[in-house]
Structure 1
Amino acid sequence: MEITRNNFLDELDTIKRDLSKSCFVGFDAEFTALLSTECFKHRLFDTSEERYDKLKNKVSNMIMTQVGLTMFQYNRDLDSYTATGYTFHLCPQVFGDIDQSFIFQASTLNFLCKHNFDFNKFTYEGLPYLSQVEEARVRQSLKDKSLFNDLSRMLTMEEEKQLQQYQSQVSKWLKRSQEDTLYLDVENPVLRYITHIEVRMSFPEVLTTDSLGNSKKILIYRDKDVEGAHSAPIAILEDNLMSHLLGFSQIISLLSESQKPIVGHNIFLDTVLLHNQFIGPLPNRYKDFKNNIHTMFPNVYDTKYISHEMSMKLSYHEVWKSNALQDLYEFFSEGKCKKLQNGVNLIKLSRPFNVKQSYHEAGWDSYCTGYCFIRLGHWTACENRGSYRPVGPVETLSALAPYCNKVNIIRGAVQYMNLAEDDPPRHRPGLLHLRALAKRTINVAEVASELATFGSLDIKPYGSRTALIAASSRHTTQVILKQYKNSKVYRIAPYSVYRHSTAGRMAIWSGALITGSLVLYLLHRKLK
């Protein structure tokens, strides 16, 4: 189901109920940028901390435009799962001194157009949201009684004109009508809040409240003597305003409070954007970032990492052709997994998506992610017990516990980011140091082209005549070292901090100088 600002309040209770009944939640998001520039190229040199440092200052104006959530509910009697999917459309908002901004890369626009992204839903119907930092600012303004004045000063000319019309309408009604009540149609929730306050200040004798059954109407009573008349407390008006401003952030809070396991596919960037968009500006310290995400979502699974690890248990002819989400989903959904020919749980959608089921549509991708998670968990649980039969969510989560909070790192020096503990040590082979012998300057592109035939690797300059090489496998490093053992063009050797880094050489020479000076001093004293 698609959720926009038009149906969000109507569906909120249903979403809460689906979440409460679920055993875990599939997650996916679509972004306004693809980070395809050279600056964001995934390199074998990068640890997860270095990858984070590259991203944190570049994604501040990048947002999620769609978030897909699929709640998976388990039916114990039928040993089956029912999936209920939602696609939430999001759009930044302007409120008081909060003016959320974002960038759209041209390449991303082309990508989204190719996948039939609905820009009208994004612009006209997207849900607002606030980060925890922004929410705290608004609540403090409410507490200080400064929010109303701030909002009044920032009204557009059109909104000022509309507010004056409401005031005039109330004035004419009081003077010329005998009716006990008046209804004002105020579509904009922020203007509705301001109208309540302005009417109460201008006409102290009247009572105002939101109309029952239609929150977009303000109901005004002529005076307190009208039967059933009452004014909505200011606290209620403020809660209604906050509910509107928070929008999709309420869903994020529900997910956090529920402590339900969150399942995504290749979600390193997703976690960075979740922090920036719903917690607050990204912290300088990588550990603080991890701690904040882990506090909000204590149980995160990444099917990209899980499938990579489990692929090593299959032969070449058994394994999926790639663990991209589409390939992985089709591998399991089309029954290509020989390990899961019998005893698998049925997985069905509670209702079809009301958009075309296509990849890179957040709701559909979140369903595919959860589907793969169930199949991977089923396979692992059955391997653990040695027999294949239907598997419930408790056993699935127990079987996949070793992968919990491990987020895949694409083409990096480490395999995953560990949200709950320290990251693992580098799993790549040690770096190689290359020195040009025949030329005074090194051409990195030329070297990369020459070495590419030996396997996957990355090269970066390390000086005018030197470079560092990071290879994806030990086999690649061994082949390169063997091939260039007697080369007259390049000298390639395992990298050593002491031999090849300026700091290391300085430390050695400084140590030698100090040691030499001490020896001379002692000899001098002995001779003297």
Structure 2
Amino acid sequence: MEVTKTTWDQSVHEIFEDIRSADFISIDTNVEVTGLIMTDESLNLEQLEGADWYNVLLSKQKARSPLEFGIAMFKEDKTMSNTKKTFHVKCYNIPILMAYVEEHDARQDIRDRKDFEERFDIDSIGFEFMQKINFDLNKSLYDGAPFLNKERSLEAKDYMEKNPDFMIINGKHVTNGDLDQSYFPKLIEKLQPEDIDEIVERLRGVGKFLEVTSEAKVPVIGHNLFVKLILLYKDFVEFLPNTYSELIPKLETLIPEFYDTKFICCEIGENKNASGADTYHERSITSNAILYPLYRNTSWIGGSSIDFALHETSTQVYESDLNELCMENLEDDSTSFCYECGFDSFLAGIIFTKLAILTFREFKVEEFPKYAKRWKNKPYIQKEIQNVLYDHEKPKKGVRSVAGPSSSSRPEQRVNSWTNVIHKK
């Protein structure tokens, strides 16, 4: 289901309630359309020769913001008495764009700010990618649902408190065409505190997603998740801190439990199972960590033990492409839903359950944090910096950080061996 700025106010309550009641959610953003992480050159961290990898990531994130956000909510149907586990799924695809307060004075002030200009920096390769996937840039620019992080929200509130009559120009109300009615549905001659609070809440918009998710303590799933989490933190919560050691405690507090399906895929493919036997079967399934081939390779898993009931309004639109994607390279068809963030977030959630069944032969939501501890909070970075743990100041090249039991109680871990993984989405 697509939600734009014209339908956001009508949809936001349902979306946030779905998050609060979900067993887990999966998310996606289209950072690729900005040109970021499209090539090895964009984020070639292994070539930094000891330079601070977070500083490189930080400088690139300042120049980009996603233009679309997708979320899928998975909730187990516990009323089903048969042995087949059923998850009800609702998906939302949301074109987004950072909000602004006023069309005249404030807009010029913002335009002069370098950080605002950088937020819309799109590399040429990003435009090529947009063309390839038939991405509708105008939809985000003209109908993107608003978002502001907390710091920008305070700036907006401060502006309106100092300029309570900003809707008046030369003694006259501005016309409806001068102010975005999605942000300002009514013209107010002099704003009162309650008016300002209402406007700020509307401008926060999609930016409240991480706050609601954190309060709900719901696990977050994603594919190639770390860069996307950093983007969302910057745009939805606050500007990024200067150091990695400052960022990680903030992320840990905000999102205490997340799982990266790309890391899980690589972890399964590279390691041995608990009995010590070679997992050739698993390796063949997880040989390609790109989202769509991974979905194809895992789509058959758990067919007799798990099912997904697609919400009629929000999700059934994806059913046809979901089935066709199992059989062919549907991502080459620009008319498909491939690369739409709502669809891709849906795939990430499905892949998550399939990889869990592949590894643990079952999927029990209530027990998953316990028996999947080895996957928890480990985002995939790239082939030599495989993952980052919250309790490490920096990842070390060529050394896998592993949570849980000591290395003496688990099969031997190989290092520097994920060189065959293709580093695309």
Task: Tell whether the 8 Å contact from 2:27 to 2:220 is kept in structure 1 after alignment.
Answer: yes
1:127 aligns with 2:145: yes
* Aligned match for 2:389, one of 407, 418, 425: 418
Structure 1 segment 479-518 matched on structure 2, within 5 A: none
Greater shift, 30-39 or 358-367, is seen at: 30-39
Task: Tell whether the 8 Å contact from 1:303 to 1:373 is kept in structure 2 after alignment.
Answer: yes
Deviation per CA, 1:50-95: give whole Å up to 9, x if none. 3322121122120111111000010123221111101111013332
Aligned twin of 2:95: 89
Task: Tell whether the 8 Å contact from 1:357 to 1:364 is kept in structure 2 after alignment.
Answer: no
Structure 1 segment 66-77 matched on structure 2, within 5 A: 66-77=68-79
**Aligned residue pairs, count:** 360
Task: Tell whether the 8 Å contact from 1:67 to 1:363 is kept in structure 2 after alignment.
Answer: yes
Q: CA deviation at 1:254?
A: 1.4
Aligned twin of 2:8: 8
Q: CA deviation at 1:285?
A: 1.1
Deviation per CA, 1:82-123: give whole Å up to 9, x if none. 111011110133323545431122211121121121223112
Structure 1 segment 358-373 matched on structure 2, within 5 A: 358-373=337-352
1:196 aligns with 2:217: no
* 1:5–1:408 CA distance, 2 compared to 1 (3 A): same
* 1:114–1:162 CA distance, 2 compared to 1 (3 A): farther
Aligned twin of 1:239: 197
* Aligned match for 2:162, one of 139, 146, 168: 146
Aligned twin of 2:217: 259
Q: CA deviation at 1:136?
A: 2.5
Task: Tell whether the 8 Å contact from 1:320 to 1:327 is kept in structure 2 after alignment.
Answer: no
- Scaled by the length of structure 2, the TM-score of the pair is 0.75
Distance in 2, Cα, partners of 1:69 & 1:290:
23
In structure 2, the gaps of 5 or more residues are 273-278, 319-334, 401-414, 420-425
Aligned twin of 2:131: 113
Task: Tell whether the 8 Å contact from 2:214 to 2:255 is kept in structure 1 after alignment.
Answer: yes
Task: Tell whether the 8 Å contact from 2:43 to 2:57 is kept in structure 1 after alignment.
Answer: no
* 1:379–1:46 CA distance, 2 compared to 1 (3 A): farther
Distance in 1, Cα, partners of 2:316 & 2:144:
18
SS in 2 for 1:326: helix
Distance in 2, Cα, partners of 1:332 & 1:398:
23
Amino acid at match of 1:326: Y
Task: Tell whether the 8 Å contact from 1:25 to 1:263 is kept in structure 2 after alignment.
Answer: yes
* 1:275–1:146 CA distance, 2 compared to 1 (3 A): same
| Pairwise CA RMSD | 3.2
Task: Tell whether the 8 Å contact from 1:67 to 1:87 is kept in structure 2 after alignment.
Answer: yes
* 1:284–1:43 CA distance, 2 compared to 1 (3 A): closer
Amino acid at match of 2:91: G
Aligned twin of 1:281: 239
Distance in 2, Cα, partners of 1:146 & 1:108:
39
1:406 aligns with 2:378: yes
Structure 1 segment 318-397 matched on structure 2, within 5 A: 318-333=284-299, 335=300, 337=301, 340=302, 342=304, 344-351=305-312, 352=315, 354=317, 358-382=337-361, 391-397=363-369
Task: Tell whether the 8 Å contact from 1:263 to 1:369 is kept in structure 2 after alignment.
Answer: yes
Q: CA deviation at 1:283?
A: 1.9
* Aligned match for 1:315, one of 275, 280, 292: 280
SS in 2 for 1:2: coil
Q: CA deviation at 1:160?
A: 6.1
Task: Tell whether the 8 Å contact from 2:20 to 2:212 is kept in structure 1 after alignment.
Answer: no
Q: Which structure has greater strand proportion?
A: 1
Structure 1 segment 408-447 matched on structure 2, within 5 A: 408-412=380-384, 414-423=385-394, 425-427=396-398
* 1:41–1:123 CA distance, 2 compared to 1 (3 A): closer
Deviation per CA, 1:170-225: give whole Å up to 9, x if none. xxxxxxxxxxxxxxxx86266556x3234x9xxxxxxxxxxxxxxxxxxxxxxxxx
Deviation per CA, 1:461-517: give whole Å up to 9, x if none. xxxxxxxxxx94599xxxxxxxxxxxxxxxxxxxxxxxxxxxxxxxxxxxxxxxxxx
User: Which structure is richer in relative contact order (CA contacts within 8 A, separation 6 or more)?
Assistant: 2
Task: Tell whether the 8 Å contact from 2:383 to 2:418 is kept in structure 1 after alignment.
Answer: no
* Aligned match for 2:55, one of 35, 50, 53: 53
SS in 2 for 1:196: coil
* 1:396–1:37 CA distance, 2 compared to 1 (3 A): closer
Amino acid at match of 1:114: K
- Scaled by the length of structure 1, the TM-score of the pair is 0.61
In structure 1, the gaps of 5 or more residues are 167-185, 201-233, 383-389, 430-470, 476-528
* 1:161–1:275 CA distance, 2 compared to 1 (3 A): same
* 1:47–1:94 CA distance, 2 compared to 1 (3 A): farther
SS in 1 for 2:248: helix
* 1:94–1:381 CA distance, 2 compared to 1 (3 A): same
Q: CA deviation at 1:296?
A: 1.7
Task: Tell whether the 8 Å contact from 2:68 to 2:93 is kept in structure 1 after alignment.
Answer: yes
Task: Tell whether the 8 Å contact from 2:34 to 2:126 is kept in structure 1 after alignment.
Answer: yes
SS in 1 for 2:46: coil
* 1:38–1:372 CA distance, 2 compared to 1 (3 A): closer
Task: Tell whether the 8 Å contact from 2:378 to 2:389 is kept in structure 1 after alignment.
Answer: yes
Task: Tell whether the 8 Å contact from 1:381 to 1:395 is kept in structure 2 after alignment.
Answer: no
Structure number with greater Rg is 1
Distance in 1, Cα, partners of 2:89 & 2:346:
7
SS in 2 for 1:323: coil
Aligned twin of 2:250: 292
Task: Tell whether the 8 Å contact from 2:210 to 2:237 is kept in structure 1 after alignment.
Answer: no
Task: Tell whether the 8 Å contact from 1:321 to 1:327 is kept in structure 2 after alignment.
Answer: no
Q: CA deviation at 1:274?
A: 1.7
Aligned twin of 1:490: none
* 1:421–1:160 CA distance, 2 compared to 1 (3 A): farther
Distance in 2, Cα, partners of 1:49 & 1:400:
33
* 1:255–1:277 CA distance, 2 compared to 1 (3 A): same
Distance in 2, Cα, partners of 1:56 & 1:251:
22
* 1:360–1:165 CA distance, 2 compared to 1 (3 A): closer
Greater shift, 89-98 or 125-134, is seen at: 89-98
Aligned twin of 1:181: none
SS in 2 for 1:57: helix
Distance in 2, Cα, partners of 1:190 & 1:269:
29
Identity of aligned residues (%): 21
SS in 2 for 1:91: strand
Amino acid at match of 1:402: R
SS in 1 for 2:221: strand
Q: CA deviation at 1:302?
A: 0.6
